[in-house]
A and B are shown apart, each in its own frame.
Chain A
Amino acid sequence: MDGAMILEWVIKSIFLILVMTGGFAYVTLYERKVLARIQVRIGPNRAGPFGVLQPVADGIKLIFKEELVPAKADKLIFTLAPVLTVIPALIITAVVPWGTEVTLFGRTIKLYLADINIAVLYLMAVTSISIYGIALAGWSSNNKYATLGGLRATAQMISYELALGFAMIVPVMMAGSMSLVDIVESQKPVWFVFVQPLAFLIYFIAALAEINRSPFDMPEAEQELTAGYHTEYSGMKFALFFMAEYIKMIAISMIGSSLFLGGYRGPFVDQLPALGPLYLFIKVAIVLFVIIWIRATLPRIRYDRLMQFGWKVLFPLALLNVFVTGVVLILVGG
């Protein structure tokens, strides 16, 4: 029994990792295609029909690229940093449910990896860890742009993490549970985004800052810091940073969908649980589209303004939102 269970979880883990890496590959293509259409271009269309083999070609190229390690770098940390960046990006998805249960090969399989009772806290914890990889990458390169980028990234991520934390408290309060499965299930009557649009907005903005996406892509601001914390990285190590960034994008979209957009819920999902992952996929694709759209549209906020915005606008707003939600819940719930 236990052996079969473990096998099931191992298979599920591997499946999830493959989905995330495959998702990463195709989000890059998705982004390039969407950006191209917004910018009156065509985008990649040479490798395979509609460029669908482009990520494969990119991957092969990156595998065969020479990896350079600066002579003056701290070599151990330099190699470890990309690994430390990818792992949190992957494991944060462990608690996100894609559906309820389906029956496959005569077994009832739960469509989530783990339903831990403090899932939201787990999310907070893993996000905090993911700073390490980036800060260490910037520091160990012994490169001025990378160091500046790493420092910026650290300061930026911790600043927005507070707002993120407060934004995530709100669904927890509404659902009365920290389990993401429970939170999704409690959105059965109405999605939290309609009840708490402000919290969703704060979550979305803070999440963009957390994953260093435009307009908060300061740490890798190409216009002044060449490539920020991964300036010195090449080949597969660079690909890992890239992968972490895109997996984080997917993860953030999945978590956001689960917390505010009803997760895997949709019409007929109770009758046909296999629809769950499909609904989640559609929601994630829409959120990703918005993220890419923002990248194509907005210029970058300057660093000091970004910190000011995080501390002086977003954080107090999130705090007040929790406060107001508490008061309103008392009044409504009596």
Chain B
Amino acid sequence: MLNDWSYVAIFTVISMFLPAAAIAIASFLAPKKPNPIKNSIYECGVETVGATWVQFKVQYYIYTLVFLLFDVEIIFLYPWAVAYNQLPLFAVVEVIIFILILLGGLLYAWRKGALEWV
């Protein structure tokens, strides 16, 4: 008997065929007449100046860092949520304290201005 994960695996493999087939079919059927103008980068009809791949504003990355912290913590909460009904009161109180610590972390990031878009 296959377990349910195998079905997901089968599905994933099959679903890879769809975009691959689409791109393959289109590459057979679609015309290909490239020229330098067509292949230039679109910037509203004028030539682009300066590099695109530059050092971007750091704010995008700060969000990522904060996200990483909280995302990991969400994962901790899931097992607790599943077993919620069977848990002793102590464990529940523990997790509630954990959530409060999370809130504290959020407030800290807030105070530090990490959530400000500047």
Contacts and interface: CB of A to CB of B under 8 A. Distances in A.
Tell me if chains A and B make direct contact, with any CB pair below 8 A. yes
Interface of A: 2, 5-6, 9-10, 13-14, 16-17, 21, 62-73, 79, 82-83, 86-87, 90-91, 94-95, 113-118, 120-122, 124, 128, 139, 141-145, 147, 151, 154-155, 158-159, 161-162, 165-166, 169, 172-173, 176-178, 226, 231-232, 235-237, 239-240, 303-304, 307-308, 311-312, 315-316, 319-320, 322-323, 326-327, 329-330, 333
B18 A326 contact: no
Given A21-B18, A79-B23, A312-B115, A172 B42 contact: no
A159 B11 contact: no
A329 B42 CA distance: 56
Given A63-B25, A312-B115, A87 B43 contact: no
Interface of B: 1-2, 4-8, 10-12, 14-16, 18-20, 22-23, 25-27, 29-34, 36, 38-44, 48, 52-53, 56, 60, 63-64, 66-67, 70-71, 74-75, 77-78, 81-86, 89, 92, 95-96, 99-100, 102-103, 106, 110, 115-117
Contacts, number: 220
Nearest to A173: B81
A116 B40 contact: no
A121 B31 contact: no
A83 B20 CA distance: 7
Contacts of B67: 158-159, 161-162
B30 A65 contact: yes
Given A13-B14, A63-B30, A139-B53, 16 more contacts: A13-B7, A90-B15, A91-B8, A91-B15, A94-B7, A114-B8, A115-B4, A141-B41, A159-B63, A172-B81, A311-B63, A315-B106, A319-B102, A322-B77, A323-B99, A326-B84
29 contacts: A2-B2, A6-B10, A9-B7, A16-B11, A63-B30, A66-B31, A66-B32, A68-B34, A71-B36, A83-B23, A86-B15, A90-B18, A115-B4, A121-B75, A143-B42, A144-B48, A145-B42, A154-B64, A158-B71, A159-B63, A161-B71, A165-B71, A232-B42, A235-B26, A311-B110, A315-B106, A319-B103, A322-B77, A326-B92
A82 B26 contact: no
B78 A91 contact: no
Contact of B26 (A63, A117, A312, A329): A63
Main secondary structure of the interface of B (DSSP, over half): helix
A162 B2 CA distance: 33
Nearest to B23: A236
Contacts of B31: 64, 66
